Amino acid sequence: MGSKSKALPKGISAAEFDKAVREMRAIVGDEHVLVDEEKLAPYRKIMMPVPDEQHELSASVMPDGVEQIQRIMKVANKYRVPVYPISTGKNLGYGSAAPVQRGQIVMDLRRMNRIIEVDPELCTALVEPGVTYQQLYDYLQEHKLPLWFSCPAPSAIAGPVGNMVDRGVGYTPYGEHFMFSCGMEVVLADGQVLRTGMGAMENSNTWQVFKWGYGPTLDGIFTQSNFGVVTKMGMWLMPAPPDFRPFCIQYPNETDITKIVEALRPLRIAMVIPNAVVIAHTLWEAPCTPVKRADYYTGPGAIPDDAVKKIQADHNIGAWNVYAGLYGTKETNDANWKIIEAVAAGTGGKIITQEASKGSKALEYRFDLMKGKPNLGEFGLYNWRGGGGSIWFAPVSQAKGSETLKQMQMAKTILGKYGFDYVGEFIVGWRDMHHVIDLLYDRSNPEQMEKAYACYDELLHTFAKEGYGMYRANTAFAEKVAATYGPVKRDVEKRLKKALDPNNIIAPGRCGISL
């Protein structure tokens, strides 16, 4: 055949690689192994500030089932070629579909896209990795099932397995996706198939309803790791509530964030507000409204505060825009609505209801996400600056007002030093907050690429010094982020890797784990 691959796996000769590819072709069929540069192009579109070559794949293999994956594992072990599993491959801003290290073979699970079961009484689903949120949504609509799920912002194209495996989040009361997953099937590097929780027991019918099983709970080790290929996942669905009342509360000043968090945290912990509360800054809302940066500022450096104020005034956007919802009956929501009104009045916020939101793109996509209706409204972010560069900087903090201004000021100062805007939001999960910042830059501009890398690096290390760790990170910074969590945790991960994958063939380097 003669290897056409642009990037062979480290230490593997072209001849050995060709043999591995030939054997994989015999397993999945010729058309389901790609090596031609052109055909691999969609996997290559990274948004991170590092050269494409760093994450260049050698091939893509697309199995159609567990048995094919088991056989691929054998080949990978035999030739020591690393495989990088992806489900729907839309990990945009975290590494997209490209492998964590150059030369890995992407194992694309898109053909495994069966919705295996939906139980309308227990409100559970069992899905394969290639299932998209849109597909699941359409299924529930077609079968007239009044069930909702929680999804991330790029829901129309992403899927529940990939999102959960990377410990992603969404916007309904089931928004902590790993917490609301129940039961996994995993193909291990040696080809064994593990079912977690109750799934380990033959004839059990409780796999999707009881997560823990007996003995150590293993599910967590298959998230943000590289210890296996997840081939099925159970997830809990939410009964559509009789009454759903999403709302936005807008605040005029950046400093209002302190009192917002103090006022809303107790409601979140007590579950008066049952979903994650998103507190979005003006510059997150503006691009999704849509507003173009160039209409307000074309000078050097970060956009100045007076231009941000002008955007707020011109487009009715708050300095902070709080999104949450009430999910219940009319009676319970009427009662809780009074609490929300009192909080807004007491903190100087202006409530925007669903009725009043009509016509605002930013509000409409958020309100849809809060009921698990897939859309792509948040992709407006990429029109802000243009050029296709984006990495998420996402430190965790306590859900306390005092944390917000401190983190925002730290981030704004560092971003400003490199000429980037603060495009951020705080998400009050339960007792924690994810502070999510989209570092937007022009990937076609080498100077901005360099600055974006240096900026992320400084953000990471400055925040780590203050004790703030990332909830999730892009593949280019996996090693550096893992290092901020200290040597003992890493040593344990390495020992697990050695025990489960001694030839280091599943996604070496993912989340900093490798032999």
Instruction: Decide whether 230 or 319 has the Cβ nearer to ligand FAD.
Output: 230
Catalytic entry in 195, 268, 385, 472 = 472
Residue 125: both structure tokens together:
């689903």
Name which position in 379, 387, 462, 496 contacts ligand FAD (CB under 6 A): 379
422 a catalytic residue: no
Name which position in 35, 92, 257, 319 contacts ligand FAD (CB under 6 A): 92
- Identify which range of 79-87, 138-146, 297-305, 393-401 contacts ligand FAD by CB under 6 A: 79-87
**CA dist., res. 145 & res. 117, Å (int):** 13
Comparing CA positions, the residue from 223, 9, 34 lying closest to residue 110 is: 34
Least spacing, CB of residue 239 vs ligand FAD, in Å: 23
Least spacing, CB of residue 464 vs ligand FAD, in Å: 22
Name which position in 129, 287, 328, 401 contacts ligand FAD (CB under 6 A): 129
Instruction: Decide whether 167 or 259 has the Cβ nearer to ligand FAD.
Output: 167
471 a catalytic residue: yes
Name which position in 18, 166, 425, 501 contacts ligand FAD (CB under 6 A): 166
Name which position in 88, 275, 289, 503 contacts ligand FAD (CB under 6 A): 88
Count the residues of the shown chain that bind ligand FAD, applying the rule CB under 6 A. 32
Is it true that the peptide bond before 290 is cis, omega within 30 degrees of 0?
A: yes
Instruction: Decide whether 162 or 213 has the Cβ nearer to ligand FAD.
Output: 162
- Identify which range of 80-88, 194-202, 207-215, 410-418 contacts ligand FAD by CB under 6 A: 80-88
Interaction between residue 172 and ligand FAD (CB under 6 A): no
Instruction: Decide whether 91 or 124 has the Cβ nearer to ligand FAD.
Output: 91
Interaction between residue 459 and ligand FAD (CB under 6 A): no
Dihedral angle computed from the Cα positions of residues 493, 494, 497 and 503, in that order, rounded to the nearest 10 degrees: 160
User: At 367, is the secondary structure helix, strand, or coil?
Assistant: helix
**CA dist., res. 490 & res. 480, Å (int):** 12
User: Is-contact 441 387, C-beta < 8 A?
Assistant: yes
94 a catalytic residue: yes
**CA dist., res. 396 & res. 413, Å (int):** 18
Q: Which residue is nearest to ligand FAD (CB)?
A: 162
User: Is-contact 259 400, C-beta < 8 A?
Assistant: no
**CA dist., res. 183 & res. 193, Å (int):** 13
Name which position in 246, 344, 510, 514 contacts ligand FAD (CB under 6 A): 510
User: Is-contact 477 94, C-beta < 8 A?
Assistant: no
**CA dist., res. 148 & res. 143, Å (int):** 13
Interaction between residue 95 and ligand FAD (CB under 6 A): yes
**CA dist., res. 39 & res. 87, Å (int):** 18
Alpha helices, H only, 358-511: 361-369, 401-417, 446-465, 478-483, 487-500
Comparing CA positions, the residue from 175, 242, 219, 222 lying closest to residue 427 is: 175
CA distances from 263 to 169, 190, 281, 341, 366 (A): 23, 51, 18, 12, 21
- φ, ψ of residue 198 in degrees (nearest 5): -70, -15
Least spacing, CB of residue 481 vs ligand FAD, in Å: 14
H or E segment to which residue 268 belongs: helix 257-269
**CA dist., res. 125 & res. 149, Å (int):** 10
Instruction: Decide whether 277 or 343 has the Cβ nearer to ligand FAD.
Output: 277
**CA dist., res. 493 & res. 511, Å (int):** 10
Least spacing, CB of residue 203 vs ligand FAD, in Å: 26
Least spacing, CB of residue 91 vs ligand FAD, in Å: 3
User: Is-contact 323 153, C-beta < 8 A?
Assistant: no
Least spacing, CB of residue 45 vs ligand FAD, in Å: 12
Interaction between residue 183 and ligand FAD (CB under 6 A): no
Helix, strand, coil percent values for the chain (each to nearest 5): 40, 20, 40
CA angle 181, 322, 328 (to 5 degrees): 55
Name which position in 153, 263, 283, 326 contacts ligand FAD (CB under 6 A): 153
Interaction between residue 289 and ligand FAD (CB under 6 A): no
Comparing CA positions, the residue from 275, 293, 276, 294 lying closest to residue 284 is: 293
User: Is-contact 397 467, C-beta < 8 A?
Assistant: no
- Identify which range of 13-21, 48-56, 146-154, 268-276 contacts ligand FAD by CB under 6 A: 146-154
Interaction between residue 86 and ligand FAD (CB under 6 A): yes
Interaction between residue 87 and ligand FAD (CB under 6 A): yes
- Identify which range of 24-32, 81-89, 118-126, 239-247 contacts ligand FAD by CB under 6 A: 81-89
Name which position in 230, 408, 414, 459 contacts ligand FAD (CB under 6 A): 230
Residue 401: both structure tokens together:
């007002």
Catalytic entry in 84, 94, 174, 327 = 94
Least spacing, CB of residue 58 vs ligand FAD, in Å: 16
Catalytic positions are 94, 471-472
- The contact set with ligand FAD (CB under 6 A) reads 85-95, 109, 129, 152-154, 158-159, 161-163, 165-166, 168-169, 229-230, 378-379, 381, 507, 510
